[in-house]
C-alpha cells in the first residue's frame, strides 16, 4: 500500500534522523511540522484534498538528540554489527535469526558478546549446543559495537530510494 512506503526524515539542519511511513509524513506536512523536499510517486486522494506522496521530508523545528554513548542491544543493531552476515557460514542474507553463542539455558547471557546473527539452517544445526559441540566456527567473535553517532540506513532501504542519496553521508 502506498501509505506504508518509507520516507526519509531530516532534521531542520538536513541531518538524517529517521525513516517513517508516508502516512506519518503526510500528517506532519499537513500539520506544518514538516516540509516535503522530494516527491515520491503519485498522490494520496482524500474526499477534499490530494496529497503528494513524499519521499524526503524536513522537520520545521530542530530536534536535539542527547548524546548516546552506546547502542541498545536490539535485533536490528546485532544484524547491523554483523553486516547482515551469518556468523557461522559467512553468507550475506536478509533472513537472519539471533543466536546465543553460549545457549541461555546453559548460563549464556543476552549480551553483545554472546549474541550473533545466524541464518536459519546454521541456527537449526547448532541448536542448543555451543559452536565447539556443533563443530561450527564463528566468522568473527561478537563484541560491543562502537557508536559513532551517525545515521545508519538499514540494508533493505539501500537500493530502493535513489532520491535519498544526496541527503545521506557517503
Please state, in angstroms and rounded to a whole number, the distance separating the CA atoms of residues 93 and 162: 22
Q: How far is CA 44 from the centre of its chain?
A: 26
Q: What is the pTM of this model?
A: 0.59
C-alpha cell at 149: 553517532
CB 149 within 8 A of CB 67: yes
User: Does residue 148 belong to any structural domain of this protein?
Assistant: no
> Within this chain, do residues 58 and 73 fall inside the same structural domain, yes or no?
no
How large is the average pLDDT for residues 50-62?
92
- What nine digits make up the cell of 167? 541527503
The predicted structure's pLDDT at residue 148: 65
- Per-residue confidence band for 159, with pLDDT thresholds at 50, 70 and 90: low
Q: How far is CA 30 from CA 24, 124, 157, in A?
A: 10, 48, 25
Percent of the chain residues topping a pLDDT of 90? 56
pLDDT band, residue 66 (cuts 50/70/90): low
Which range, 72-81, 83-92, 153-162, has the best average confidence (pLDDT)? 83-92
pLDDT tens, position by position, 13-34: 998 888 899 999 999 999 999 9
What is the residue range of 119's domain? Answer: 68-143+155-163
Within this chain, do residues 159 and 93 fall inside the same structural domain, yes or no?
Answer: yes
150 within a domain of the structure (yes/no) = no
Q: What is the 3-state secondary structure (H, E, C) of 77-144?
A: HHHHHCCCECCCCCCECCCEEEEECCCHHHCCCCCCCCEEEEEHHHHHHHCCCCCCCCCCCCCCCCCC
Per the structure, the count of domains in the chain is 2
Output the average pLDDT for the chain: 88
Domain for residue 118, yes or no? yes
Residue at a domain's end among 20, 50, 65? 65
Asked which of 17, 37, 65 is the last residue of a domain, the reply is 65
Statement to judge: residues 15 and 59 lie in one domain? yes
Look at residues 65, 94, 118 and tell me which one is the last residue of a structural domain.
Answer: 65
> Domain containing 124 — which CATH number?
1.10.30
Quote helix, strand, coil % in the chain, to nearest 5: 20, 25, 50
Q: Are residues 38 and 103 in the same domain?
A: no
Residue 170 in any domain: the answer is no
Same domain membership, residue 74 and residue 36 = no
Whether pLDDT at 47 is above 90 = no
Tell me, yes or no, whether 34 lies in a domain: yes
Q: Report d(CA 108, CA 17) in Å as an integer.
A: 34
**CA nearest neighbour of 21 among 41, 3, 39:** 3
Q: Are residues 123 and 137 in the same domain?
A: yes
Q: Say if 49 falls within a structural domain.
A: yes
Amino acid at each position: 500500500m502506498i501509505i506504508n512506503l518509507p520516507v526519509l526524515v531530516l532534521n531542520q539542519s538536513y541531518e538524517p534522523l529517521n525513516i517513517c511511513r508516508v502516512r506519518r509524513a503526510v500528517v506532519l506536512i499537513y500539520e506544518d511540522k514538516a516540509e516535503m523536499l522530494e516527491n515520491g510517486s503519485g498522490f494520496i486522494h482524500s474526499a477534499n484534498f490530494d496529497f503528494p506522496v513524499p519521499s524526503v521530508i524536513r522537520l520545521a523545528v530542530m530536534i536535539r538528540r542527547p548524546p548516546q554513548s552506546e547502542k541498545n542491544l536490539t535485533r536490528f543493531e546485532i544484524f547491523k554489527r554483523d553486516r547482515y552476515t551469518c556468523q557461522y557460514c559467512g553468507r550475506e542474507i536478509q533472513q537472519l535469526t539471533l543466536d546465543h553463542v553460549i545457549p541461555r539455558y546453559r548460563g549464556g547471557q543476552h549480551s553483545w558478546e554472546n549474541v550473533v546473527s545466524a541464518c536459519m539452517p546454521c541456527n537449526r544445526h547448532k541448536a542448543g549446543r555451543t559452536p565447539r559441540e556443533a563443530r561450527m566456527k564463528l566468522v568473527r567473535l561478537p563484541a560491543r559495537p562502537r557508536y559513532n553517532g551517525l545515521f545508519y540506513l538499514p540494508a533493505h532501504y539501500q537500493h530502493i530510494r535513489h532520491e535519498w542519496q544526496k541527503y545521506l553521508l557517503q
